[in-house]
Structure 1
Amino acid sequence: MSEPGHQSQKPLEELNACTQSDFVAVLANIFEYSPWVAEQAFAARPFAGVNELFAAMTSAVERAPEDLRLKLIKSHPDLGDKTQRAAGLTVESTAEQTSAGLDRLSDAEYEAFERVNNAYRAKFGFPYIVCVRRHTKDSILRDFERRLPNDAATETKTSIAEICRIAALRLDQLIVAGDRLPVHGRLSTHVLDTHSGKPAAGIAVELVERSLLGASRVVTTAVTNSDGRTDQPLIGGRPVPIGRYELNFRVGDYFRARNVPLSDPPFLDDISLRFAVSDPEGHLHVPLLVTPWSYATYRGS
């Protein structure tokens, strides 16, 4: 869950020089509605890097008494809850839920989220928490079902771990430092025209997130460059959400533009590759090797 809203980025050097009140004001919502985490981390200044700062904040959470840790868990909102959204979420939570499409659920998705939210709260007495920027709607619902049979001790521990993942992404977005937190993944593609033996330039590419209960949504579109790659990763600088995807390639237009003889209609016009992501911080490369009559792919990295 991240994207610290409208707060501008701050260099770590400036943060190290802040008074305690200013330091806490900057970091107050890294852990949802819990400025006490920043208050305790302040004593460990100066920080040599953002990893040191994050370690000080997570250490404060780990040392906290059980009742304060439970209060931290309960400060988080339910996912996909229209009532809570109308009442007002933090800027951070709003951006995070929006990033996963939880602000535009289909009726079937809304009913599914309401069912699992209620079941989870009824069993554990606190909200289900997951770092939604690492997930799609489908994978959140699967995670709900996977965790519901757990006992309270296991879910308390899991919730704190997810809160720390949320905090890491918020901190990464907020603080500029010489080092980076290991919170980013990458999804890329590369098209090779094996008919001519060259990279395929000028192919329109579309990345779609597939959904079981709602409409699939376009994540990004791009056009391959002279190296057959996209100028930027299809997803980069953030986690690649766990889920099911489809990559669409307009290869018919590409071969027609190069006057390659094609049948009418072309044997291959638009090619769709379906695949899944399971490691949000990993690098997944999905290449396409194509001729007018055949294609192949594999899992790259």
Structure 2
Amino acid sequence: MTAAQTPLADLNACSKADFVAALGNIFEYSPWIAEKAAGARPFAGVVQLFEAMKAAVERAPPELRLALIRAHPDLADKTQRAAGLTAESGAEQNSVGLDRLSDAEYRAFERVNNAYRAKFGFPYIVCVRRHTKESILRDFERRLPNGVTTEVANSIGEICRIAALRLDQLVASGDRLPVHGRLSTHVLDTHSGKPAAGIPVELIELSAFGENRVVTRTLTNHDGRTDQPLIGGRPVPIGDYELRFKVAAYFASKNVPMSDPPFLDSIPLRFSVSEPEGHLHVPLLVTPWSYATYRGS
């Protein structure tokens, strides 16, 4: 449990008013969902709590479900940012870089936001913690040809994904919601048949419109792995990435005969993520003269 989390036992025992105050913005500006769920207490775990909140949404009349959709902000909207997003929405949009778009990115988001709202009469909603900026724009384009009924259902589904992540951050429980993924790597020195320790590793999120973003920099440990996952404890955002490994200094330290300059120094591996809650393992098998990879899990 983190300092910001509330124990589930406390939520089970508190008054209805305190329960609603604690969970009222799990679903954006919609405390009625927490009010409905409060009557189902006590909850055995956070999964059961989430299912009760989700059931309240599913059983709501169409006009209330539409109001829930319309309570959400447009993505990357400067006017709404100036007026003040909720703390939750602001943190979620900032996590994917929607607060620091290039001019080209901002124009792209403005175009698709306007096209979507003009067609459907409500904002485009996606769980941004599961995406990169590029994959959000691709999702916009994929969903725009849909009909209203399909997009109402898609929007409610995305709202529930957002709520699950918010609840996971807020509530401490013995069980966990299945909202986290993991991206990992390891380096195997196939010249010596041993794990490669001390290899600098850089993970980069690739962008077609703006600048590429360094997600993390780390070193491999004695087992050729990293002490922590490259991404963990959250969804692994859908998108395109590059892993960059600096190997020349490692082989030089092993007194392996090498060319000058080294044939291989900085090795890039490009790959894509499509399953945010899955485990994707992207290893490097390397000698001073060759390398390979594969999709692990």
SS in 1 for 2:188: strand
Contact 1:130/1:163 (<8 A) preserved:
yes
**Residue by residue, what CA displacement relative to the aligned partner does 1:192-212 show, whole Å, maximum 9, x if unpaired?**
001111100000000000001
Q: In structure 2, which of residues 89, 98, 117 is the aligned counterpart of residue 121 of structure 1?
A: 117
- Listed as ranges, the matches of 1:126-165 within 5 Å are 126-165=122-161
Look up the equivalent residue of 1:283 and give its one-letter code.
Answer: H
Q: Look up the match of 1:228.
A: 224
**Other-structure match for 2:266:** 270
Residue 104 of structure 1 aligns to a residue in which SS?
A: coil
1:7 offset after TM fit, Å?
Answer: 8.7
Match of 2:46 in 1: 50
Question: What TM-score comes out, normalization by structure 2 length?
Answer: 0.98
Shift of 1:256: 1.8
Match of 1:101 in 2: 97
Q: Does 1:21 align with 2:14?
A: no
Determine the structure 1 residue equivalent to 2:79: 83
Question: For 2:164, which of 157, 164, 168 is the aligned residue?
Answer: 168
CA contact (8 A) 1:191 1:200 kept: yes
Native 8 Å contact 1:7 1:174 kept in 2: no
Please say if residues 203 and 223 of structure 1, whose CA atoms lie closer than 8 Å, have aligned partners that are also in contact.
yes
Tell me how far 1:259 sits from its aligned partner.
2.4
3-state SS of paired residue (1:293): coil
Runs of 4+ in 1 over 4 A off after TM superposition: none
- 1:244 alignment partner in structure 2: 240
- What is the Cα-based RMSD across aligned positions, in Å? 1.0
Cα deviation 1:137-184 (Å, max 9, x = unaligned): 000000000000001110001000000000000000110100000111
User: What is the one-letter code of the residue matched to 1:35?
Assistant: P
CA pair 82-7 structure 1, distance change in 2 beyond 3 A: farther
Identity across matched positions, percent: 78
Any idea what SS the aligned residue of 1:44 has?
coil
Q: One-letter code of the match for 2:174?
A: G
Alpha-carbon distance in structure 2 between the residues aligned to 1:52 and 1:81: 35
Report the Cα distance in structure 2 between the residues aligned to 1:99 and 1:257, rounded to whole angstroms: 39
Aligned-residue offset at 1:257: 2.3
Contiguous gaps of at least 5 residues in structure 2: none
Counterpart AA for 2:9: E
Q: What do the CA deviations read for 1:208-251 (whole angstroms, capped 9, x no partner)? A: 00001010000011100000000011001110000000000010
Within 2, Cα distance between the matches of 1:93 and 1:14? 25
CA–CA separation in structure 2 for the residues paired with 1:86 and 1:132: 20
Give the TM-score normalised by the residue count of structure 1.
0.97
Mind listing any 5+ residue stretches in structure 1 that lack a counterpart?
1-5
